[in-house]
Amino acid sequence: MSDELIRLTATEAVARLKRGEISPLELVEAAAARIAAVDGAVNALPTLCLDRARAHARELMAGRRREAEGEPGWLAGLPVAIKDLADVAGVRTTYGSPIFRDHVPERSHPLVERIERKGGIVIGKSNTPEFGAGGNTFNEVFGRTLNPWNTALTCGGSTGGGAVALATGQVWLAHGSDHGGSLRGPATLCSVVGLRASPGRVTRGTSNNLFSPLSVQGPMARTIPDLALALDTMAGHDPLDPLTFDAPAQSFTQAVAQARGGLRVAFTANYGGRLPVDRETREICAREVRRFEAAGCTVTEDFPELGPVEDVFLALRSQHFVVDRELQIQAHRAQFKPDIIWNTEQGLAQSASRLAWAERERAALYRRFAAFFQRYDVLVTPGSATPAWDVALRARDVVDGVKLTNYIAGSALTSAITLTSCPAVAVPCGFDRFGRPVGLQIVAPARGEAAALAAAALFEQAIGLDRLLPIDPRAGEVPPE
């Protein structure tokens, strides 16, 4: 029974919970058994709160804590993983930092409160890089999280633990966050799905960067219908976050169920050579994007002009780091990894004129994308510049023969979209010759999550890779360059 339950999609599990065919406690125990069986091989969920989860399950079964029953995104007692950047009341929350090694918050993050109000049961905390900074999930508190398709490789970052927990069947849904690609990158490298939502779609609650659109919270899942369900759970106005707005009248679950063909799809493998992308990745994505044509869509190779996106993103990200980390570094410099110190000091050293330039360039980029979406419904790119790399490396250092200059340079495919405030969905599209997952990034106009999810649903139905999950962790070797 336990093995059968972990193989259900989140949508199937919630439907069975609503019908009373299974109980929340049965799902908690199924997840606990699966975690015990496989997490030792991948280190996705280093902190568990099983007794807390069981207590929540019993409350739901007794008819309590069900005030949101019937609302879109009602999870009815489905266990979920929360990224170790978001507080969960009474549960060790480290942010991947030795500074907070023993931190136990008294109150949950507003998004966690929303998820629990909607019937989600927190079963554990997923591993993340230190303060979520980086494309490889490792930290000094819990160590490295490994890719289940090949445990010699990285799972990506920073929502790496969530992606691995999903791929291995430890949970049905996972919470995460995305700044330069932290939901989309791990989803691509682990062959699951992840959504970077438009700023304001999901509350960030306690952030000091409340007026910045760069970093967002969001969902990760195994299938697109599950991803839509999770977004319904998370979306909506929060008085603690000034960028948030009301959830749409039509749920994202309904939008995915009503997905239709006929879309105008633009595809670019690397923006005309502007961004470095591994050759085999380009070839796989260019071939598989044609699956849209079977649904009556047109696929055209086209892309908007990016401008100096790498420098713009670095300038704005560095300012973001100054807000978040300047005072902490002053107090605990020796306990920070070099990448965070470097990124923060980049921000401290740049001039007001440099920031003004970056803001002007970001505005111009947004206008170019808005004009582009007058001609196309979605833009599709590779989800990552390369498949997964050696887990022992803190970051990629070379992509398609191009030497990278810093730890975020390999994420330009996703960080460029971050600057536009457009929603983007990562969806699997195949495997390279070494069996490493490859995926697409599907981008829609600002606040167009329903359109992005509907397009991703069409693609997922055509390719069927979601049916491969969950998997048992697989040992392997690092492929040659």
Is 108 an active-site residue?
A: no
The first and second tokens of residue 351, run together, are 């001039």
Q: Which of 97, 108, 177, 182 is catalytic?
A: 182
Which positions ≥6 away from 30 have C-beta within 8 Å?
1, 2, 5, 6
Distance CA 174, CA 79 (A): 9
182 is catalytic: yes
DSSP 8-state symbol, 410? G
Catalytic residue among 83, 118, 125, 337: 83
In 213-258, where does DSSP find H-type helix?
224-234, 252-257
Question: Per the omega criterion (within 30 degrees of 0), is the bond before 110 cis?
Answer: no
Overall residue count recorded for the chain in this entry: 481
97, 158, 215, 251: the catalytic one is: 158
Distance CA 258, CA 215 (A): 30
Contact 73, 251 (CB under 8 A): yes
CB atoms within 10 A of CB 97: 23
- Other Cβ atoms closer than 10 A to 59: 15
Letter for the amino acid at 9? T
- DSSP annotation of 384 reads S
- Taking alpha carbons only, the member of 476, 474, 478, 477 closest to residue 389 is 478
d(CA 473, CA 193): 18
In angstroms, the CA 345 to CA 251 distance is 43
140 backbone dihedrals φ, ψ, rounded to 5°: -80, -10
- Residue 126 catalytic? no
For the annotated catalytic residues, the residue numbers are 83, 158, 182
